[in-house]
Amino acid sequence: MSRMLSLAAVVLLAGPAFAQQPAVRNRTEIPAQNQGQVGNRPIAGQSVPEPAVGQVGARAGVGRGEVRTGVGRLPAAGANATGVNDALFAAAAADGGLSELTLSQLGVQRATDPELKRFSQQMIEEHTRLNNELRTLTAQKGIRIPEMVDVRSQFCAQSLAGLSGEKFDKCYAKAQLVAHMEALGAFEAEAERGLDPDVKAMAARAVPKIKEHLEMIKPIAKKYMKESESEEHGRIGRPAGGVQPIR
């Protein structure tokens, strides 16, 4: 009996201490700042709460028949819309323009080919004007565009910065070729199927200049590609151990 009384006393004394401890909650009960997301991407199997009416951001104002994007809104598949999303184009064009400036500045500094140096300087001048025109127009339209170079472009520039001499020239020429092919595709799509008449007109004005840039870099890049192919064929056809081939 005395043992039971002692146990009861212990429970009564420990009661206040237990009451002070917060209840244990599992992860589904604990609110998080970005519940159901990792960065900007939802975690598989978890739903993301709908934004409040008037919310500013990528998900604001998304209605039926549309999908959420990083900027603006895109028609969902099967929505019978063939137009290009102007806000998405503007963001992509701004990304490409900033990347081009970063790339061209590197070319001015490190290229050993005089043609590449001249090309790089021209790109800085002409893409600066194009970027400024895009920035002015998007500000008037209330379209937000990137102000910093994206991670992919930073990595590309960092990779090129580790090269020198002819190796740099070769990789840099290829990078400029790819960049202008991508830019031309984006600007042509907006020029043909843009929905905002002003953004569409700006893209149409830029298309001939981007085509000119592409035609300038093509022969330079092709020259380095031919050299690479010749070197590769030479290595493949060279016999091992210095033995002369049978003729």
Q: What is the pLDDT of residues 89-103, one digit of tens each?
A: 999 999 999 999 999
Provide the pairing of β-strand 73-75 with 41-42.
Answer: unpaired
pLDDT confidence of residue 238:
53
Tell me the C-alpha distance between 204 and 208, whole Å.
8
Alpha carbon 199 to chain centroid distance?
21
Backbone angles phi, psi at 177, to 5 degrees: -60, -50
CATH topology of domain 86-229: Ferritin (1.20.1260)
- pTM of the full structure: 0.62
User: Rounded CA gap, 110 and 163, in Å?
Assistant: 9
> How many C-beta neighbours within 10 Å does residue 156 have?
20
Collapsing DSSP states into helix, strand and coil, what is residue 42? strand
Alpha-carbon distance of 155 to 244, in angstroms, equals 44
Res 228: pLDDT: 65
Q: What is the pLDDT of residue 59?
A: 37
With a cut of 70, which residues of the chain have pLDDT below it?
1-81, 228-247
In the chain, what are the domain boundaries? 86-229
Confidence at residue 225, expressed as pLDDT on a 0 to 100 scale: 86
Q: Tell me if 66 sits within 8 A of 79, measured CB to CB.
A: yes
* Tally of CB atoms within 10 A around 169: 23
User: pLDDT by residue (tens digit) across 198-237?
Assistant: 999 999 999 999 999 999 999 999 999 887 666 665 555 5
d(C-alpha 107, C-alpha 142), whole Å = 34
Q: Return the structure tokens found at 122.
A: 């021209």
Q: Give which of 59, 58, 35 is closest to 47, Cα–Cα.
A: 35
Q: Can you give the pLDDT at residue 202?
A: 98
Beta carbons of 130 and 209 less than 8 angstroms apart: yes
**Nearest-5° angle of CA 83, CA 85, CA 91?**
150
User: In the block, which residue shows the tokens 């091992």?
Assistant: 240
The single-letter code of the amino acid at 49 is P
* pLDDT score recorded for residue 223: 92
